Amino acid sequence: MWPINKTKQKLIAEVADPEEVEVQAKAQVLTLEDIEREIPDPKPDTHREVLNQAKQLLGYKPRDILLGNVLAELEIETLDSKQVKAYMDSKNQGHGIGRKNFIPYKFTEYRYEIPVHVLNKAIQIKEKLPEVEFIIYHYEEGDPFLFVMHNGYGWYIEAWDEPTFEGREAR
């Protein structure tokens, strides 16, 4: 079920049919404020041991719980990946030359200013887990997202440059 956001709440007030609300809500463009945030649930060390054994013996590729635990310990919120992708898809427009798109950058390649609170989060995570990698997904008209990754798995942890997010000092 599509998460209830401000757009959907407005539609509920305007439309009586719940199925129609769902259809219209999915068609609406998300804003950065609509994207849900949560702190990952920390997993006990026993989970890590079992998952490591399953990876070695069975070839199982578990979601990286070490990064999740670091984010939980630092109380850093993650953005809902499905909603971030829906937001990015709604912004990606056009074909060929002139197409606007989200472009991935490493920190060393990123040429735009990064807010201090975003840099602070990246520093805190890197100090706890030096092997992490960061990717900034930058839309040509703003709205960059910071993605943190470890062992092939990761989370979006920050977004900035939309007027309502300017100077936002979230956890």
pLDDT at 101: 78
The two beta strands, 142-150 and 153-159, are antiparallel
Q: What is the pTM of this model?
A: 0.67
Residues 69/125, Cβ–Cβ less than 8 Å = no
Three-state SS for 7-75 is HHHHHHHHCCCHHHHHHHHHHCCCCHHHCCEECCCCCCHHHHHHHHHHHHHHCCCCCCHHHHHHHHHCC
φ/ψ bin of 59: left (φ > 0), alpha (ψ from -120 to 50), beta (otherwise) = left
Both ends of the chain: CA-CA distance in Å? 27
Tokens of residue 69, six digits? 């635990």
What pLDDT shows up at residue 130? Answer: 92
pLDDT at 152: 83
Q: Could you tell me the strand order of the sheet in which 142-150 lies?
A: 37-38, 78-79, 153-159, 142-150, 133-139, 102-105
CA distance 16 to 133: 47
Q: What is the pLDDT of residue 139?
A: 82
84 alpha carbon, distance to own chain's centre: 6
Q: What is the pLDDT along the chain (171 residues), one digit of tens a residue?
A: 344 455 545 544 555 555 554 544 444 556 767 777 777 776 666 776 787 788 788 887 666 678 888 999 999 999 998 998 888 887 776 555 555 678 899 989 998 889 999 999 999 999 999 999 999 999 877 789 999 999 888 999 999 875 555 444 544
